[in-house]
A = this chain, B = another copy of it.
Amino acid sequence: MPNHRSGAGDPARTLRLLWRQPEESPRRGPRPGRSLDDIVTAAVELADAEGLDAVTMRAVAQAVGVAPMTLYTYVPGKAELLDLMLDHCYSRMPRPDRSGEPWRARVAALAAENRELFHAHPWAAEVSTSRPPLGPGLMAKYEYELRAFDGTGLDDVRRDAALTYVLDFVRAAARSAAEVRLARQQDSWSDEQWWAANGPLLAQVLDEQRYPTAVRVGAAAGSAQHAAYSPDHAYEFGLARVLDGLGVLIDGARTG
């Protein structure tokens, strides 16, 4: 049950790694057999295929074909590797030019691109970055995404806050989606089996007298979405609310 946390260790060292600034050493001794990118790429592929829990130093080492401890000549530790993995994914996100479109379309597209990021790399939503990995990928992403608010009239401080707001929403939705996916797979039970096993106790305990609203709303939401929770529905609903909320700030009162 590892708590995958990034951003530890010496920040300056991490920055140099992110920007691929080699140490200024006199270049002596044997040449490295692999590159930093080899390690990062292997780690990302492993995380994509088998989840963050599968990303152990030993497993990454095996994937790149070296002994476990050899990784530590490329990376100070696992936290830094996670930073590099994140920045790697950020740097590979698509950034099409949308300067002609209205801000709502641009922000919706921005959200969709981030949603796709978390779809391709579900682990990226789990990694807790005590400090964001200030690498080239994050910078390119930040630069690109800020431009989505061009022409909105937002000042710089509000623009940053608005972007944070959108990104946090997408990340939260992605986390919920990942949690649902995990729950569905970890117990092989279908929803029907689950209800058959737990229905009796739930019926006894979810007293309609005590929780009238909760029971009614939960049942309505569950049956409408054919599941206890629908990540897609939550995303669509939330995005509409995000855009409307920004719309009030940007356009004044106007519905979407």
Contact = CB atoms under 8 A, between A and B. Distances in A.
Interface in A231-247: 233-234, 237-238, 240-247
- Tell me the number of copies of this protein: 2
Interface in A82-135: 126, 128-131, 134
B128 A175 contact: yes
A233 B182 contact: no
Given A2-B3, A21-B201, A220-B156, A130 B12 contact: no
Nearest to A178: B128
A15 B202 contact: yes
Nearest to A183: B130
Contacts of A67: none
A35 to B, nearest CB: 20
26 contacts: A2-B2, A3-B3, A3-B52, A11-B194, A11-B197, A12-B198, A15-B198, A15-B202, A21-B201, A21-B205, A126-B128, A130-B183, A134-B202, A156-B220, A157-B221, A159-B217, A161-B238, A164-B234, A165-B237, A165-B238, A168-B238, A241-B242, A241-B245, A241-B249, A244-B249, A245-B248
Interface of A: 1-5, 7-8, 11-12, 15-16, 19, 21, 52-53, 78, 126, 128-131, 134, 136, 139-140, 142-143, 146-147, 155-162, 164-165, 168-169, 171-173, 175-176, 179-180, 182-183, 186-187, 189, 194, 197-198, 201-202, 205-206, 210-214, 216-218, 220-221, 224-225, 233-234, 237-238, 240-249, 252-256
Given A1-B4, A160-B221, A162-B241, 17 more contacts: A1-B3, A2-B2, A2-B3, A3-B52, A128-B179, A147-B213, A157-B221, A160-B218, A164-B234, A168-B176, A168-B234, A241-B245, A241-B246, A241-B248, A244-B244, A248-B256, A253-B254
